[in-house]
Each structure stands twice: as C-alpha cells, then as structure tokens.
C-alpha cells in the first residue's frame, strides 16, 4: 500500500536528495515548505546550497508536469505541492500563521480525507506538536545508523594459541586461529573487519598480550609500536592503536576515524603525529597541517562577522592552540610562571601559523576545494552533517591524510543526534574499507586528569 509522506523544509535543507528517498510512495510538500526554501536560496553555506539544489530539482519536475496535481519521480512515487487545508483547526496555543502550524494543517487535512499520512521532520519539537494533533511523525532516517545497530569500534579482543605468539611479529597469525569463549565455555570464531585492531591474549598465560591489526586475512604486529611522534609516548592500548592509525602512510590509510570521549587525547595525538610527519621526518610526508573545527552556528554566520577569516575562526581554534602549547612546551612546568617563557611558547605557536605549517579554515570555505599532500584534521566532526562529511572526504587529493575526530555523544547541531551525524555516517559507510582505519577510545583511556576520567565514566 502506498503511503503519503509530508516533508518538512528542514529535511530538504539538510538532505536535498530526500525527494528521491521514499521509494514508490507519495510525497507532499506544503506551500510553507516551498516558501522556506525560497527564503534560504540566497543564504551562504550548506543551508543555502541545499535549498538551491532542492529548488532546482523541483524546477526540473515542474517542466515535466503540474506540481500541484503531482509529478512522477524518477525512482518511483510522486511529489506534489499542497496549497489547501488552510482552515484546519489547531490545538490552542499554536500560532496558525507559523510555517510549522501550516505544515501540520496540511497533515491533518489530508488525514481527514482518508490518506495514510506521516510527517517527516528533523525537528523534535515539530514531532511533539504533530503528536498533539494525532499526526504520525518520524525523523528522516536515510543517513541514519539503524535503530539498535551497534557503532563500529574498530577494536576487538581474542584468544590465540600460545604456541603461535613467538612467530607473531614476523609472520602474523591467521584469523581462523583466533577465538573467544561463550557463556557455556565453548570456543567461538572472531568475526573481524579489514583494518580492525586486535588485542591478542595467550590462551595459557593471562598476562601475556600482543597488539595487532587485521589485514588481508591475518593479524599482523603493529608497525609503529615503538614510535614517539613529536616526543609523545602512548599511555594506553587505545593510544597505541591510535598511533598506528595516524602513522600509517596516506597511500595505505588515507582516512582515519577516531571516536571517543573528551580527554582521550584524540586532538593532541593527531597534532603530534601531524607535526612529526610535517616537521621531524627525514622525508617530509605532507606540506602542511590543515585544521577545521566545525560549529553548528558559526559555519553559517562566518561571512557576516567582521575581520579576516583567521580572526573570525580564532575562537574555535582555541582548543587546538591549547594542545599545541602542551606539545611545544619543551621546558615543562618549571618555567611556566616566567613571563619570558610564556612569550617564547606563544612565539613558537605563532611561527607555525605564520609560516603556514599549520593553517585553520572554517568548514564553509572547504566547498569546491581539492586538497593534496596535506595532513587534514577535522576536529569535533560529530557536528558535521552526512552531506558535509561526504563533501570533505570526496575532495581529498593525492597524498592527503584525513583524520576525523569526535564524540557522537557531544553534539551541538540542533538537527543531528548520535545516529544521524556525519561522523557516525562516515564510520558506518567506511567500515571495512581497506583505505580507512577506525578506532573508538574508551572512557577509562582518558588522560586529561583523574577527575576527567572519573567524570567520563560517571557522567
């Protein structure tokens, strides 16, 4: 049975391709939705670009037929504009002239005519208001991690026969030799994904462990276990895995996705590995470090702020500077109180930015770029939409390594959540790719402070 989906404007503003995502069903666009797209078509950044794309698609359909009567969609189903149902009553307290209310009037009016209607909106408050009117409502889920699906962590633990561990560093261990034990004490095979990290445990000596990465049918030893990028030493198993992912050459692993709670040194380690390969390596592997740190509101409004691009984005880059201060503070805490020592530290950081060794850009300036031979860090990537994420990763040129960092539990974007943000989207879509290495750091691997670790577990 065909269904009728009424789309809110925020769906098309975030996913302009949504009109082609409802299979052989009917899509209804209230006139209020068209008006909101029209009001945004001149806006800067992703909202304006998406509004224009959606309107261009509708214009192509208009040329094929009457949008008020309905036009067939290329992949099946129909789409039409709804200009009626303006007199449908609303619950007391709702403004009948608001765009949200006008969309709800269309939903209720179509239901009164006997249609099986579902409102699709990214706005939680709109879904609550729809419930007040007895209108079924749901989120747009095409780019969303399925309900109940477990996020990919990029790491696993397994037992292995002790006799195989002696040759592990030279030959690796075939995946079929690894096993876990179920509740009944029976051996179970370990399903592994390409590039997944593995903590190997001897099946005879409890404290005997080794670290490896699954590749081409077997688990092999970490190649950079003894490295100390920019003087940084890994302090946990998670950081050892993260170091391996970051130091793998771009030709082998051009995309790294690191998730985890605050304080697990994601940004710190990404900067350390970048500085090591830009400044310290005998053969400089990358021309520069490019840092982007999206902000849900800032990216939309940056064009209207006074000052140069660097002055506009400097507040967002403060966490990056904080990490650089730690990395570049060669004298440690003993001289920190001295004003001259602080000035020297500030001078080192200013030098990195002034010479272009490190550059920072706002997300809305990434559109249309082709980025080559660059160590690209996208910090707080959970605040990207799936479309923004695709736009970044598909613009990567030769010799560039992309490092996506973030915590899906810490989202500032009003229309995103743990299962619909760009970081989760990238993790799900790139799982199993031979060109992508992923890792989720654990709360007990927090290195910021004892309080930060305790809070990460308790809060």
For the stretch 152-196, pLDDT in tens is 999 999 999 999 999 999 999 999 999 999 988 899 999 999 999
Are the C-beta atoms of residues 266 and 378 closer than 8 Å to each other?
no
Give percent of the chain above pLDDT 70.
Answer: 90
> Which runs of consecutive H residues, i.e. helices, occur in 209-257?
237-247
DSSP conformational letter for 276: I
The pLDDT of residue 333 is 52
Read off the pLDDT of each residue in 59-67 and give the average, rounded to a whole number. Answer: 96
Q: Tell me the fold of 235-458.
A: Rossmann fold (3.40.50)
Please name the helix (run of DSSP H) or strand (run of DSSP E) that holds residue 259, with its range, or none: strand 255-259
Instruction: Look at residue 303 and tell me whether its pLDDT is greater than 70.
Output: no
Give domain limits for the chain.
4-138, 150-221, 235-458
β-pairing, 179-181 vs 26-30, is: unpaired
Tokens (6 digits) for 303: 């064009």
Read off the pLDDT of each residue in 6-23 and give the average, rounded to a whole number. Answer: 93
Instruction: Look at residue 419 and tell me whether its pLDDT is greater than 90.
Output: no
Highest mean pLDDT among 317-321, 330-334, 348-352 belongs to 348-352
Q: To the nearest whole number, what is the mean pLDDT of the chain? A: 89
Q: pLDDT tens digits for 210-254?
A: 999 999 999 999 999 999 999 999 999 999 999 999 999 999 999
Which CATH code for domain 4-138? 3.40.50.1010
Same fold across 4-138 and 235-458: yes
β-pairing, 4-7 vs 436-440, is: unpaired
Surface-to-core class of residue 119, CB atoms within 10 Å of its CB (0-12 exposed, 13-18 middle, 19+ buried): buried
Lowest mean pLDDT, pick from 41-45, 80-84, 287-291, 312-316 = 312-316
Read off the pLDDT of each residue in 400-422 and give the average, rounded to a whole number. Answer: 91
As a whole number of angstroms, the distance between CA 208 and CA 221 comes to 15
Are the C-beta atoms of residues 313 and 361 closer than 8 Å to each other?
yes
The pLDDT of residue 430 is 96
The pLDDT of residue 299 is 42
Place of tokens 């995946």: 175
The 3-class secondary structure across 143-167, one letter per residue, is CCCCCCCCCCCCEEEEEECHHHHHH
Q: Tell me the fold of 150-221.
A: 2.30.130
Q: pLDDT tens digits for 264-298?
A: 999 999 999 999 999 998 888 899 999 998 864 43
Are the C-beta atoms of residues 436 and 263 closer than 8 Å to each other?
no
Give percent of the chain above pLDDT 90.
Answer: 69
The pLDDT of residue 155 is 98
Read off the pLDDT of each residue in 56-70 and give the average, rounded to a whole number. Answer: 96
Q: pLDDT tens digits for 95-129?
A: 999 999 999 999 999 999 999 999 999 999 999 99
Rg (CA), the chain: 26
Lowest mean pLDDT, pick from 84-93, 267-276, 308-317, 325-334 = 308-317
State whether the Cα torsion 314-315-317-323 is positive or negative.
positive
State whether the Cα torsion 100-104-107-113 is positive or negative.
negative
């Amino acid at each position: 049975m065909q269904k009728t989906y009424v789309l809110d404007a925020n769906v098309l503003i975030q996913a302009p391709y949504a009109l082609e995502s409802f299979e052989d069903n009917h899509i209804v666009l209230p006139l209020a939705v068209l008006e909101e797209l029209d009001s945004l078509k001149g806006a800067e950044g992703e909202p304006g670009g998406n509004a224009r794309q959606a309107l261009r698609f509708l214009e192509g359909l208009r040329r094929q037929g009457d949008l008020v009567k309905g036009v067939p969609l290329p992949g099946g189903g129909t789409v039409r504009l709804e200009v009626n149902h303006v007199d449908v009553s609303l619950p007391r307290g709702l403004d009948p002239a608001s765009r949200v209310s006008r969309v709800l009037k269309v939903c209720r009016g179509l239901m009164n005519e006997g249609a099986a209607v579902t409102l699709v909106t990214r706005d939680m408050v709109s879904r609550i208001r729809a419930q007040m009117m007895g209108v079924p409502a749901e989120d747009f889920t095409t780019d969303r991690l399925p309900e109940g699906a477990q996020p990919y962590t990029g790491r696993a633990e397994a037992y292995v026969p002790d006799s195989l561990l002696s040759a592990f560093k030279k030959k690796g261990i075939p995946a079929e030799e690894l096993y876990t034990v179920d509740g009944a004490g029976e051996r179970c095979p370990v399903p592994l994904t390409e590039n997944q990290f593995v903590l190997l445990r001897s099946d005879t000596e409890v404290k005997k462990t080794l670290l490896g990465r699954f590749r081409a049918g077997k688990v092999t030893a970490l190649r950079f276990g003894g490295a100390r990028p920019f003087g940084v030493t890994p302090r946990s198993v998670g950081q050892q895995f993260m170091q391996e992912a970051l130091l793998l050459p771009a030709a082998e692993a051009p995309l790294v996705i690191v998730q985890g709670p605050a304080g697990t040194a994601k940004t710190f380690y990404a900067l350390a590995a970048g500085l090591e390969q830009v400044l310290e390596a005998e053969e400089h592997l990358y021309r520069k470090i490019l840092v982007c740190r999206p902000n849900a509101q800032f990216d939309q409004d940056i064009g209207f702020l006074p000052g140069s691009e660097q002055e506009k984005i400097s507040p967002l880059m403060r966490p990056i500077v904080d990490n650089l201060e730690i990395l570049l503070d060669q004298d440690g805490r003993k001289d920190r109180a001295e004003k001259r020592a602080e000035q020297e530290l500030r001078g080192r950081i200013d030098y990195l930015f002034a010479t272009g060794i490190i550059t920072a850009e706002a997300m809305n300036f990434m559109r249309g770029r082709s980025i080559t031979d660059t160590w690209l860090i996208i910090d707080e990537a959970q605040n990207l939409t799936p479309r923004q994420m695709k736009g970044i990763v598909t613009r990567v040129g030769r010799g560039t390594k992309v490092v996506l960092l973030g915590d899906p539990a810490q989202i500032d974007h009003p229309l995103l959540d743990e299962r619909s943000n760009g970081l989760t989207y990238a993790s799900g879509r790139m799982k199993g790719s031979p060109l992508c290495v992923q890792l989720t750091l654990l709360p007990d691997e927090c290195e910021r402070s004892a309080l930060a670790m305790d809070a990460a577990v308790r809060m």
